[in-house]
Amino acid sequence: MARGSNSKVDLIKSVPLFEHCSKSELAKIAQSADEMDLREGKVLIREGERGREFFVIASGNVEVTRMGKPVATLGPGDFIGEMALLSNIPRSATVTALTPLDVLVITDRGFKGLLDRMPSLWPKLAKALAERIARDENSSA
C-alpha cells in the first residue's frame, strides 16, 4: 500500500474520534498507524473478543455481522474498532473482509503510548465520544 504521510493523515482526520485534533496531533497519530494489506475472507474483529486494534479502511470492503447476521457493509474511509483504543469492552460484532483490503491499524498499546506522550489528546477524545453518545441517544429517541 505504501501511503504517503499526508494520505495517512487524511484518513485519520476522517475518523470522528479524532475530529477535534490539531494537524500536529493527527500527524503523530498517523505515524503510529501501520499499513496492512489483508486478504479477502480475513476476520479483522471477532464478536465477543477483547479488542486490541482499530482499523481505518483505505480500500476494499468488509461485512459487519452480529450473532451471525449481516448488519452493514463498510468501505473506504470507514473505521472499525475505535472503542478498543479506550476500553476493555468485548467486540460487539464480527468484521470480515469481503475483498482484499488496505487498512491503517492502530493498536491499543500504540495508542496508549501516544496518550502518555500527548496528554492534550484526552479532552479532545472525551469531547468526540460525548458528542457521539449524544448523537446516538438523539437518533434512538
Name the pTM for this structure: 0.81
- Whether residue 16 is predicted with pLDDT greater than 70 in this model: the reply is yes
pLDDT value, residue 94: 96
Domain edges within the chain: 5-108
- Mean pLDDT to the nearest integer, 119-130: 84
pLDDT value, residue 19: 83
Alpha carbon distance 95, 56 (integer Å): 13
| pLDDT tens-digit series, residues 93-103 | 999 999 999 99
- Kindly report the CATH number that applies to the domain delimited by 5-108: 2.60.120.10
| pLDDT tens-digit series, residues 17-38 | 888 889 999 999 999 999 999 9
Alpha carbon distance 31, 9 (integer Å): 9
